[in-house]
Copies of this chain bind each other. A is one copy, B any other.
């Protein structure tokens, strides 16, 4: 059927969508969310049909994304036909029925996600089915490979390319800001790409951005790495595994993450990593609650790494409380810089030299941890970090005091004496976000009491920082309401933690396995 183009001056945010009137759709035999084939001269494409009552019946509305591919202009005539269902949709349906997918099925799906031939409804069904049925190692491998092959890759040349990744979940984890300069100072290549916070108070990209730009292009990254051996950049706009970016958009509202392994390893593969340490924070404050779960995940990582030609070691790390004391982009950058300069909290220092040491030993260096400590203590790591900051366009002379920490501050003090037996990382995240993090980079909090420490009545438990008074007030209010730090004089003084009069709704249970 011939229809005249109506160019809609808006984008959908990615999807290739065309609008038909219900009458036209009826004549074409098209139902809502069916695919249609658009032909304009020699240009041909598949779009997803949205049916809108009252749309003019001789016209087809094209959003910007569709116009860009088809290159048709306002009022020009294009040919529109009902397109057959894509093969990948049958693969998605097979997964709904619990079938295992073969490599070529997964290639179909990933290609059609990237080409926008599958709608967000179909992607949501696919991810839900994966989340319920789980993935085999072969499926994880095929997904990783398909996500790499449909995206861009970066080559950093010969020699081992090292990398470090955390599956995340505990606030205040600024380890990458130490591991990268330690490893780079030893002469190894470590091109670290990171994400921004979605539900946390700060991602590595948010932290580093208070020191220097992180939104670099591929050529800029190559230049930084060739100068300094390392980088600390945002990976989100590099299109390293565009399918994964599209999957994450759909997973986010659903709170599911069935493709954790291929999501992480496809991006490592795309930057040519050869040796990777995966940090799996394990504990009551982390995503992974039990060692049993952590070991299972770790062995899945190692196994999938082997299939992808990646040398992987996993570190199970203590995940019962935040790492270090600072939470929030600028506060965390400040703590990382202080630690590079010889100060900083012992847990952050220990985690950084341990992970850097593991990387060293993976590439044949003996006594890796000792070497990492030497590099940190000698000031070489600090100097390397300043080189990286300069190469990425920041001020290499930056001092911890220069960082844009919120000017509004309030102390939260203890109303009793006792030992800290519990810190709720979830509540701490909520308070830090209420204070403005991660959008307002100066917001967040600094802990003065951590697990096992003795607190006297009136002692400061934590400080809240914010850029604006209103944020400070609402964060303080939330802090009083949540009381995220729990003290007791003696353990087991109060045996009943809570009563359960009825089935509890929707809280994920966890098992303590330590």
Interface residues of A (CB under 8 A from B): 8, 10-13, 19, 26-27, 29, 31-34, 50-55, 61, 89-94, 96-99, 102, 105, 119-125, 127-129, 131-133, 198, 249-250, 252-256, 439, 505-506, 508
Contacts and interface: CB of A to CB of B under 8 A. Distances in A.
Contacts of A10: 8, 19, 52, 55, 61
A499 to B, nearest CB: 20
- The 9 tightest CB contacts between A and B, nearest first, are A124-B124, A128-B128, A11-B52, A121-B124, A125-B128, A94-B506, A124-B125, A125-B254, A33-B253
A58 to B, nearest CB: 16
A33 B248 CA distance: 12
Contacts of A99: 506
A254 B13 CA distance: 23
Given A93-B254, A122-B253, A249-B32, A98 B132 contact: yes
A506 B108 CA distance: 14
Nearest to A50: B13
Contacts of A121: 120-121, 123-124, 250, 253-254
A441 to B, nearest CB: 12
B124 A128 contact: yes
Nearest to A503: B102
Nearest to A26: B439
Contact of A506 (B91, B131, B253): B91
A198 B26 CA distance: 11
A253 to B, nearest CB: 5
Given A26-B439, A121-B250, A132-B133, 10 more contacts: A10-B19, A11-B55, A13-B50, A13-B51, A29-B439, A33-B252, A33-B253, A94-B506, A96-B131, A122-B253
Contacts of A32: 13, 249
Given A128-B129, A131-B96, A249-B32, A254 B55 contact: no
Contacts of A255: 93, 96
A295 B128 CA distance: 30
Contacts of A127: 125
Contacts of A8: 8, 10
Nearest to A123: B121
A474 to B, nearest CB: 14
Given A10-B19, A254-B125, A27 B120 contact: no
A503 to B, nearest CB: 8
A151 to B, nearest CB: 19
Given A122-B253, A506-B93, A12 B131 contact: no
Contacts of A120: 120-121, 124
A52 B12 contact: yes
A394 to B, nearest CB: 21
B31 A252 contact: yes
28 contacts: A8-B8, A10-B55, A11-B55, A12-B50, A13-B50, A13-B52, A29-B439, A31-B198, A33-B252, A93-B254, A93-B506, A94-B505, A94-B506, A96-B254, A120-B120, A120-B121, A121-B253, A122-B124, A122-B253, A122-B254, A124-B124, A125-B125, A125-B254, A128-B129, A128-B132, A129-B132, A132-B132, A132-B133
A96 B130 CA distance: 11
Contact of A256 (B53, B96, B133, B253): B96
Find the residue from A26, A32, A253, A254 having the highest chain B CB count within 10 A: A253
A93 B52 CA distance: 30
A260 to B, nearest CB: 15
A247 to B, nearest CB: 12
Contacts of A254: 92-93, 96, 121-122, 125
Contacts of A29: 439
Contacts of A93: 254-256, 506
